[in-house]
Amino acid sequence: MAFSSTLPAHQFIPVRRIDNARDLGGYPVQDGRTVRTGLLLRAAHLFDATDADLRYLSAIPVSKVIDFRLEDEKKGKEDRMVPGAEYISLPLDASGNAAASASADEKKRFGRRNKFDVKKFIVLASFNDLAKRIARALYTTLFFSPVCQEQFAIFFRHVISCENGAVLYHCTQGKDRTGVASALLLSALGASRETILADFDVTNSVYEADVRKYSRRVRFWGGKEEELAVVRSFIGCSKENFTNALDRLYSEYGSMEAYLEKVLGVTSSDREILKSRYLETRK
């Protein structure tokens, strides 16, 4: 997979076989500081990581690897372990109410026939009504599902308690669940909404070639805009849907800080701990 040359240099983690591997380090926050480099790392799964990739992550050192994937997603794609790191499974189900309210027939058609080939599965799923509903509600589910909220609250406890080394967190492609986790972290550290959206949108540069490739396949099979939107959401990420979910969050809670405190239990004292560890004076 080729990366866009427009990506900020500080985003790259120099690994060969871990997709969408990036460092939150270097992002500015509102009090004139920046996020420290080498402490908050986001990525896709580690199944394909090379020995050299694992040695690099161990040397940082990564002390916690947090995996947001469901158990079914891990089968046949288990993470390779980073030497010296604690592995934490923290599954997040982004299918939410769309899947819960689906008929048995819809679930059967959606299926997981190609679970080991995610992109091929997405091409087929783009014609599925359940997949379309899940794509539209993806970020709303992650922000507002009580189960997801509980998991994100635990995620923050792990990040806050990590006194040495880096935290690397990931899902399958390192974009939706990982993207929301990054948005929450950056918010807790004082980053602006513009910075949060910019970090989220980097994924679309990373997977741009794949989106074009699989969009052509969907068009070949007769897919129109509604089907192409599923490809853009599941192979890339929908900035529009993410922005809409953020708008709802701000409408209901007034601010991200209020959401963090009232819903995830991340207090002002917690945010100060995070800032003292993960921020530095801007150079």
pLDDT tens per residue, range 25-55: 999 998 899 999 999 999 999 999 999 999 9
The three-point CA angle 203-206-209 to 5° equals: 125
Provide the pairing of β-strand 33-35 with 22-23.
unpaired
- pTM for this predicted structure: 0.89
Task: Note whether 183 and 170 are within 8 A (CB).
Answer: no
Amino acid, res. 57: L
What are the tens digits of pLDDT across the range 173-203? 999 999 999 999 999 999 999 999 999 999 9
% the chain with pLDDT above 90: 75
Q: How confident is the model at residue 8 (pLDDT cuts 50, 70, 90)?
A: low
What are the tens digits of pLDDT across the range 125-141? 888 888 888 888 999 99
169/128: higher pLDDT: 169
pLDDT of residue 124: 84
Which parts of the chain fold into alpha helices (H)?
51-59, 71-74, 96-100, 104-110, 118-125, 129-144, 146-161, 177-189, 193-206, 208-220, 225-234, 239-253, 256-262, 268-278
Q: How confident is the model at residue 9 (pLDDT cuts 50, 70, 90)?
A: low
The DSSP secondary structure of 157-226, one letter per residue, reads HHHHH--SSEEEEE-SSSSSHHHHHHHHHHHHHT--HHHHHHHHHHHHHHTHHHHHHHHHHHHHTT--HH
Task: Note whether 207 and 200 are within 8 A (CB).
Answer: no
pLDDT of residue 52: 98
What are the tens digits of pLDDT across the range 203-258? 999 999 999 999 999 998 898 989 998 899 899 999 999 999 999 999 999 999 99
The pLDDT mean for the chain works out to 89
The three-point CA angle 43-49-55 to 5° equals: 100
Residue 32 neighbours by CB under 8 Å, 6+ apart? 281, 282
- The CA distance from 255 to 171, in Å, is 26
Q: List the domains of the chain with CATH numbers.
A: 9-281 (3.90.190.10)
73/2: higher pLDDT: 73
Count other C-beta atoms under 10 Å from residue 191's C-beta.
Answer: 23
- The CA distance from 142 to 139, in Å, is 5
What are the tens digits of pLDDT across the range 109-119? 445 444 446 67
Question: Is residue 6 over pLDDT 90?
Answer: no
Q: How confident is the model at residue 171 (pLDDT cuts 50, 70, 90)?
A: very high
pLDDT of residue 282: 78
Task: Find, among 33, 54, 31, the residue nearest to 43 by Cα.
Answer: 54
Question: Is residue 106 over pLDDT 90?
Answer: no
